[in-house]
Amino acid sequence: MEQPTIFYAACFVLALLPLASSTALTAAWVYVLLRVIHSLVQALANTIKLRFSLHVLGTVPLFVMVFVAAGQLI
Q: Tell me the pLDDT tens digit for each residue of 55-67.
A: 999 999 999 999 9
Answer for the pair 52, 15: CB distance below 8 angstroms, yes or no. Answer: no
User: What distance in Å separates the CA atoms of residue 68 and residue 62, rounded to the nearest whole number?
Assistant: 10
Q: What is the pLDDT of residues 35-56, one digit of tens each?
A: 999 999 999 998 999 999 999 9
Q: What mean pLDDT value characterizes the chain?
A: 91
Q: Which domain holds residue 53?
A: 3-73
What confidence tier does 6 reach under pLDDT thresholds 50, 70, 90?
A: very high
Please report the sign of the dihedral spanned by the C-alpha atoms of residue 8, residue 72, residue 62, residue 14: positive
Q: What number of other Cβ atoms are within 10 A of residue 27's Cβ?
A: 23
Domain count, the chain: 1
Report pLDDT for 39: 94
| pTM for the full predicted model | 0.89
Rounded distance between C-alpha atoms, residue 16 and residue 33, angstroms: 23
